[in-house]
Amino acid sequence: MLNTKIKLGLALAVSVALVTGCSGDKQEEKQESVTGIDKNPFPSTYRKIDSQPVVITNVTVLDGIGGKIEDGEILLKDGVIVAVGKSVRLPSGAIEIDGKGKWITPGIIDNHSHLGVYPSPSTRSHSDGNEMTSPVTAEVWAEHSIWPQDPGFQRALAGGVTSLQILPGSANLFGGRSVTVKNLPNRTIQDMKFPEAPYGIKMACGENPKRVYGTKGGPMTRMGNVAGYRQAWVQAQEYRTKWAEYETELEAGGSPKRPSRDLNLDTLAGVLDGDIIVHMHCYRADDMGTMMDVMKEFNYKIGTFHHAIEAYKIADKLAENNVCSAMWADWWGFKMEAYDGIKENIPMVHAANACAIVHSDSDLGIQRLNQEAAKAWADGKRAGIDISQADAWQWLSANPAKSLGIFDKTGSLEAGKNADVVLWSTDPFSTYAQADKVFIDGAMVYDRSNPESWPVSDFELGQIAEGDAK
Amino acid sequence: MNLFKKAALASSIAIGLSLSASALAENIAIVGAKIHTVSAAGIVDKGTVLIKDGRIQQVIEGTDVPSGYRTIDAEGKVITPGFIGAATSLGLVEVSSSAGTVDARAEPHAISTVGAALDVQYALNNDSTLIPITRIEGFTSAATGLSGSEQLFLGQGAFITLATTYQPVLKAQAFMKLSVGNSGVDNNGGSRAALWVAINQSFDEAKFAKSYAMDPSQNWLGLTTMADAKALIPVLDGKMPLVVNADRAADIVQVIALKKRYSDLSIILASGVEAWRVADELAKNNIPVILDPESNLPGAFDQIGATLENAARLHKAGATVVIGMDTHNIRLATQHAGNAVANGLPHSAGIAALTINVAKIFGMDDQIGSLEPGKVADIVIWSGDPLEVTQTAEQVFIQGEQIDMTSRQTKLRDRYLQRNALKPVGYTRP
C-alpha cells in the first residue's frame, strides 16, 4: 500500500515536473488536509494591473513556439492573449497600436537570476544569496532574501524580461529553494510571486562547493560533492517514507506518532515527490554525466543544468535524459570548469533536440538576452546549424517557461496564455533593437516612448538620475 | 551528418580565404568592401585597401587593382582597422579563479609600497589561448595591465600586438594605472581622506626624485620606494599616461583637480560611470574616457548615476570616448559599442571608440588605429556591420599578415561537430 503510494507519487512527479505545477498542487492540498502542514506558507499576493484591450497590427510575430507571421496581429484582453494571427477581431474600446516595422514576441523569461538576493548596490548588507554555512541548506528559500527594491528589476523590464527565476547562489551542494516571479516588483516579495508556479531547488556541481567548503569541513573534491548529494538523498528518502507511513496511518484512522519535521528534508522530499524542480549549476560534461546517474539512482528529475558550459559535448545524452541546459552565449575562462566554453554551445544543444535555454546569471546580461540569443543563433548558422529565428526564440521564452513549470501559463503567444508580451523596435536579433513596449498580464508596464511612466525603485527615488534613461 | 557537411563546407570557405597565409612582405589588395578608414577620408562605400610590406599603402575608391597584388574579394563586406582592446589583462591571465598563478594580480612585495614600480612587460605570455580567441574576432592589439595590486597604483601597463610572436610588446611602460574609486579606497586606508593624500605624496616624491641621486647608497625615507618614485617620473612629465579608475562625479572632479595640480599629467579616465555628469569639464581638460557603455546599474554608492547614455552624452560634450573593458571577452567590446550606438552614440564614434581613439590615448596613433598610408596593416574584413551582434570578423590581418582564423574554441567546436560516436573523442582531431 505504502509502496504503491510512493511510486504513484513519483510517476506523477516525472510527468508533472516540466509541464505544470497543477497536479503537484492538488497533492499538496491533500497532504495538507491530513497532516496539517501548510505547504504554501508564503502565498503569492500578485495582482495583475487592470488594462484596456490592446490590438497590435502590422507587426512581425514570433509566437515563441516556432511560428512566424509577417504583418500579423495580436489581441490582448483581460490579461490574456485572446488571438494571434493574420488578423484579429478589434473589440470596442481597444487601444490599437500600429506595429509597422516592429516585432512582437513572448516576454523573455530568465530562469537564472540573482536580482534581489544580490541586488544593486552590492553592499555586504545586501549580499543575501548564498547561505555559506553548510554544504546542504535546502531549508533556505531565496524569496526570504529578495529585496524587491533592487533597481535591477526595472532595468530587466526595459530589456523585455517579464518573468524570472531567482535562485540562491552556487556555494552549496543544495543551495535552497528558488522562486519564480513576475517582473513587477512591489512592496513585498509575495506581491511579485508568479501565481501557482512550482518551486525550484538550486544545486551545484563542481568547483564552487569544493572551493567554499574545502577548508571548512568539506567537501573538498568532486567525489566529496557527489557523496554529499547521495547522502542527502538517502536521508530524504527515509524522511519521506516516515511521513508517508504517518499519513497512511492517519488516513486509516490511527493515531501514529508524528515524525519530527525538518525543513531541509521537507524540500528534498518535495523534489522526490516531483513538486520541486531541480536547477543544477553544472559546467563540465563529466559532472553532468555523473549527476544524471545520481538522478536515476534516487529517481528524481533534474529539470535544468545551469551554465552547462560543456553541454555541447554531451548534447545527445541531455536529449535522452530530457534535461534542459541554460547557457550563456559566450562567457568562458573565468575558472577551469568554464575553460572549454564555445560560442556554438546553445545551437549545438538545440541541434541535438535537447532543450536549450539562454540565461543571464547577471544583472547586466538580463537586460539584453535577445542579443545573447542573436549571437548564438548567428554563430550556429556560421557553423552550419541553420535554425530559424522563430525556433531560436524558444531559448528565451518557451524553454525557460518549461524549465520553470509555467509553460501552461506563459512563454508563448498562444490564445489563453498570460499576455506577457514584448513589442520590439525592430528585428530583436539585432544590437540596435530595443523593447518599445512591455506587457505583463495585458498591462503595458514599460513604454520606452514615455519616460514619465517608467517605474523607479524606492532606492533610486530622490537620488541623482532618478528616472534617467537607463 | 548533414550538419557535419555544412560545417565542413563552412570551414572550407574559411580555408579558401587563408590558403596563402603568407610571407609578411606579400602585397595584398582587398577589393570591393565598404571601408571605414576612421580618418579624414571617412567611409569609402566601395573601395580597395592596398597592403605592401606589412603596411597600408593606400585606400582607393573602386575596385581597379594595380598589378602586383594578390587580390582578396571582399565585395559586400565591411572593412575596419583592427580593433584595439583598451582596458585588458590579455597575456597576463589564462584562467582567473583557482587555477594557479595569475600575473594580472600582484601582491605586496618589498620592491614597491605604492604599486607604481610594478611592470607587466615581463609578465606577458602570448601563447595564452586568449590571444587567438580574441584576434579572430577582429581585435589586433591591446593595452594590458594589472587588474589588482592591493596597493595605490596598479603598476605600469604595456601595449601589445595580438600577432603570434614571442615579442608582443609594441610599447612597454605604456601607461600607469590608479584607482580612486571605492575599490582603490578599500586598499588604501579605507577613505578617500587617506587615498588622495597618498597620491599627492607619491607625485611630490617623484618630483623630488627627479633631482635626487636615486641610488641605494642614498637615504630614501619616502612613502614610495625608490623604484616607485622613479616609475612615477615619466607620469609626472606627461610622457606616460595615467589611467585613473573613477566612477562618481565627486571623484572625477578630484581627478580633474589632480591634473590641475600636476599640470603635465596626461590623464585617461577609466570606468567613469558618472562621467556624463562632468562631461563638459572632461572635454575642456582633454581627458578621454574608457568606459563600459552597458554599465547602467548602481553597483555601489559611487555609481548611482549610471546610465546607458553615458557614452553618447560624453561624445556630445566633445569628450573622447573609448570602449572596451574586459579580458576574456574583450571581443564583446563590439557589442558594447553597438549598445552605445543604440543609446545615442553616432555609429562612426562607436567605431572610433574601438580604433583611433584607443590608439590616440596610448600614443600609438602614428602606427595603428586607422586605415591611412604608412600605418601598420592591422585590418579586419567583417561579414557586415561590426557592431551588430549577428555579424562577425571573417578575416583578420595583423601587420599585413593574413592570420589563421582558428582558436582552441573553434577546434573544440569542430571536434564535437565532427565527433565519431564509435571512437573516444580524443581521436577526433579537427
pLDDT digits (tens, 9 = 90+) for A179-230: 999 999 999 999 999 999 999 999 999 999 999 999 999 999 999 999 999 9
Cα B291 to Cα B311: distance, rounded to the nearest angstrom:
8
A443 interfaces chain B, CB cutoff of 8 Å: no
The mean pLDDT value of chain A amounts to 93
**What pLDDT does residue B110 have?**
96
The verdict on B210 and B306 lying in the same domain is yes
A469 interfaces chain B, CB cutoff of 8 Å: yes
> Across residues A451-463, what is the average pLDDT?
97
Closest Cα in chain A, distance from residue B416 (Å): 6
* pLDDT at residue A10 tops 60: no
C-alpha cell at B395: 578575416
Beta bridge partners of B267: B242
Beta bridge partners of B43: B36
Is B241 a member of any domain?
A: yes
- Residue B389 and residue A152: Cβ atoms within 8 Å? no
Is B317 a member of any domain?
A: yes
Residues in chain B with CB shorter than 8 Å from the CB of A364 are 294-297
B185 interfaces chain A, CB cutoff of 8 Å: no
Which among B173, B239, B182 has a CA at the least distance from the CA of B210? B239
Cα B323 to Cα B319: distance, rounded to the nearest angstrom:
13
Residues in chain A with CB shorter than 8 Å from the CB of B416 are 312-313, 348
Cα A424 to Cα A438: distance, rounded to the nearest angstrom:
9
Pick the residue of B296, B345, B407 with the most A CBs within 10 A to test the interface with A by mutation.
Answer: B296
Is B392 a member of any domain?
A: no
B416 interfaces chain A, CB cutoff of 8 Å: yes
B309 interfaces chain A, CB cutoff of 8 Å: yes
Task: Give yes or no for a contact between B358 and B369, defined as CB atoms under 8 angstroms apart.
Answer: yes
Task: Give yes or no for a contact between A280 and A305, defined as CB atoms under 8 angstroms apart.
Answer: yes
Cα B430 to Cα B420: distance, rounded to the nearest angstrom:
11
The verdict on B14 and B106 lying in the same domain is no
pLDDT tens for chain B, 430 residues long, are 344 444 444 444 443 333 333 445 699 999 999 999 999 999 999 999 999 999 999 999 999 999 999 999 999 999 999 999 999 999 999 999 989 999 999 999 999 999 999 999 999 999 999 999 999 999 999 999 999 999 999 999 999 999 999 999 999 999 999 999 998 999 999 999 999 999 999 999 999 999 999 999 999 999 999 999 999 999 999 999 999 999 999 999 999 999 999 999 999 999 999 999 999 999 999 999 999 999 999 999 999 999 999 999 999 999 999 999 999 999 999 999 999 999 999 999 999 999 999 999 999 999 999 999 999 999 999 999 999 999 999 999 999 999 999 999 999 999 999 999 999 999 999 9
Note the pLDDT tens digit of each residue in B282-339: 999 999 999 999 999 999 999 999 999 999 999 999 999 999 999 999 999 999 999 9
Residues in chain B with CB shorter than 8 Å from the CB of A114 are none
* pLDDT at residue A44 tops 80: yes
* pLDDT at residue A296 tops 70: yes
Strand bridging mode B267-271 / B289-291:
parallel
The verdict on B58 and B162 lying in the same domain is no
A152 interfaces chain B, CB cutoff of 8 Å: yes
Identify the helix (H) or strand (E) that includes residue A179: strand A174-182
Cα A401 to Cα A198: distance, rounded to the nearest angstrom:
11
Note the pLDDT tens digit of each residue in A156-179: 999 999 999 999 999 999 999 999
Q: What sign results for the dihedral spanned by CA atoms B241, B243, B248, B250?
A: negative
A389 interfaces chain B, CB cutoff of 8 Å: no
Contacts of B81 by beta carbon, 8 Å cutoff, 6+ apart = B36, B37, B38, B355, B356, B368, B369, B370, B371, B375, B378, B379, B380
The alpha carbon torsion through B402, B403, B406, B408 (nearest 10 deg) reads: 180
Task: Give yes or no for a contact between B168 and B126, defined as CB atoms under 8 angstroms apart.
Answer: yes
- Residue A469 and residue B308: Cβ atoms within 8 Å? yes
Residue of A nearest to B296 (CA): A470
Structural domain for B50, as ranges:
2-80+397-427
Residues in chain A with CB shorter than 8 Å from the CB of B295 are 364
The verdict on B194 and B218 lying in the same domain is yes
Residues in chain A with CB shorter than 8 Å from the CB of B410 are 342
Q: Residue A451 half-sphere exposure, CB side, CA atoms within 13 Å? A: 6
Q: Is the pLDDT higher at A456 or at A36?
A: A456
Q: What residue type is A253 in one-letter code?
A: G
Residue of A nearest to B388 (CA): A431
Is B271 a member of any domain?
A: yes
In degrees, rounded to 5, the angle at the alpha carbon of residue B351 between the alpha carbons of residues B348 and B352 is: 85
* Residue in B10, B389, B410 closest to A431 by CB: B389
User: The cell 549527476 sits on which residue?
Assistant: A291
* pLDDT at residue A28 tops 50: no
Is B390 a member of any domain?
A: no
Which among B399, B286, B385 has a CA at the least distance from the CA of B338? B385
A222 interfaces chain B, CB cutoff of 8 Å: no
* Residue in A312, A331, A463 closest to B416 by CB: A312
- Residue A120 and residue B298: Cβ atoms within 8 Å? yes
The verdict on B73 and B116 lying in the same domain is no
Closest Cα in chain B, distance from residue A426 (Å): 12
Contacts of A70 by beta carbon, 8 Å cutoff, 6+ apart = A60
Residues in chain A with CB shorter than 8 Å from the CB of B5 are 384
**ipTM for the whole complex:** 0.93
Note the pLDDT tens digit of each residue in A375-410: 999 999 999 999 999 999 999 999 999 999 999 999
Cα B10 to Cα B20: distance, rounded to the nearest angstrom:
18
Cα B330 to Cα B336: distance, rounded to the nearest angstrom:
10
Q: Packing angle between helix B2-18 and helix B408-417, nearest 10 degrees?
A: 150
Residues in chain B with CB shorter than 8 Å from the CB of A386 are 6
* pLDDT at residue A8 tops 60: no
End-to-end CA distance of chain B: 16
Q: What residue type is B369 in one-letter code?
A: G
Assign residue B15 the CATH number of its domain.
2.30.40
Is B12 a member of any domain?
A: yes
Is B377 a member of any domain?
A: no
B288 interfaces chain A, CB cutoff of 8 Å: no
Cα B327 to Cα A278: distance, rounded to the nearest angstrom:
33
* pLDDT at residue A461 tops 50: yes
The verdict on B325 and B259 lying in the same domain is yes
Share of chain A above pLDDT 70, in %: 93
- Residue B425 and residue A313: Cβ atoms within 8 Å? yes
Residues in chain A with CB shorter than 8 Å from the CB of B10 are 382-384
The verdict on B200 and B288 lying in the same domain is yes
The verdict on B412 and B308 lying in the same domain is no
* Residue in B277, B342, B412 closest to A432 by CB: B342
Cα B374 to Cα A140: distance, rounded to the nearest angstrom:
64
Strands (E), A272-376: 277-282, 302-307, 324-327, 356-358
A138 pLDDT band, cuts 50/70/90, is very high
Closest Cα in chain A, distance from residue B341 (Å): 8
Residues in chain A with CB shorter than 8 Å from the CB of B98 are 207, 211, 335-336
The verdict on B41 and B97 lying in the same domain is no
Closest Cα in chain A, distance from residue B3 (Å): 6
Closest Cα in chain B, distance from residue A73 (Å): 27
Residues in chain B with CB shorter than 8 Å from the CB of A431 are 335, 338-339, 341-342, 387-389
* pLDDT at residue A3 tops 80: no
Cα A19 to Cα A172: distance, rounded to the nearest angstrom:
27
A35 pLDDT band, cuts 50/70/90, is confident
Residues in chain B with CB shorter than 8 Å from the CB of A211 are 98
- Residue A371 and residue B307: Cβ atoms within 8 Å? no
A330 interfaces chain B, CB cutoff of 8 Å: yes
- Residue A464 and residue B5: Cβ atoms within 8 Å? no
Contacts of B187 by beta carbon, 8 Å cutoff, 6+ apart = B149, B150, B151, B152
Contacts of A17 by beta carbon, 8 Å cutoff, 6+ apart = A198, A274, A277, A301, A303, A405
Residues in chain A with CB shorter than 8 Å from the CB of B300 are 121-123
Residue of A nearest to B409 (CA): A342
Residues in chain B with CB shorter than 8 Å from the CB of A339 are 95
Cα-flanking dihedrals φ and ψ of residue A307, to 5°? Answer: 80, -55
User: The cell 488516513 sits on which residue?
Assistant: A251
A331 interfaces chain B, CB cutoff of 8 Å: yes
Cα B116 to Cα B263: distance, rounded to the nearest angstrom:
19
Q: What residue type is B62 in one-letter code?
A: G
The verdict on B106 and B75 lying in the same domain is no
The domain spans of chain A are: 2-46+108-407
**How many domains are there within chain B?**
2
* Residue in A122, A155, A371 closest to B296 by CB: A155
* Residue in B9, B301, B388 closest to A121 by CB: B301
Assign residue B250 the CATH number of its domain.
3.20.20.140
The verdict on B123 and B230 lying in the same domain is yes
C-alpha cell at A146: 529578495
Is B281 a member of any domain?
A: yes
Cα A200 to Cα A203: distance, rounded to the nearest angstrom:
10
A348 interfaces chain B, CB cutoff of 8 Å: yes
Beta bridge partners of B219: none
Q: Residue B135 half-sphere exposure, CB side, CA atoms within 13 Å? A: 30
Strand bridging mode B139-144 / B289-291:
unpaired
Q: What residue type is A408 in one-letter code?
A: D
- Residue B332 and residue A432: Cβ atoms within 8 Å? no
Cα A354 to Cα A335: distance, rounded to the nearest angstrom:
26
Residues in chain B with CB shorter than 8 Å from the CB of A363 are 297
Note the pLDDT tens digit of each residue in A326-373: 999 999 999 999 999 999 999 999 999 999 999 999 999 999 999 999
A382 interfaces chain B, CB cutoff of 8 Å: yes
- Residue B6 and residue A386: Cβ atoms within 8 Å? yes
Query: Could you tell me the CATH superfamily of domain A2-46+108-407?
Result: Metal-dependent hydrolases (3.20.20.140)
Q: Return the number of CB contacts < 8 Å for A and B.
A: 149
Q: Is the pLDDT higher at A246 or at A19?
A: A246
The verdict on B242 and B196 lying in the same domain is yes
A344 interfaces chain B, CB cutoff of 8 Å: yes
A363 interfaces chain B, CB cutoff of 8 Å: yes
- Residue B10 and residue A384: Cβ atoms within 8 Å? yes
C-alpha cell at B368: 595603428
Largest interatomic CA distance in chain A = 69
**Weakest-pLDDT range from A14-28, A101-115, B142-156:** A14-28
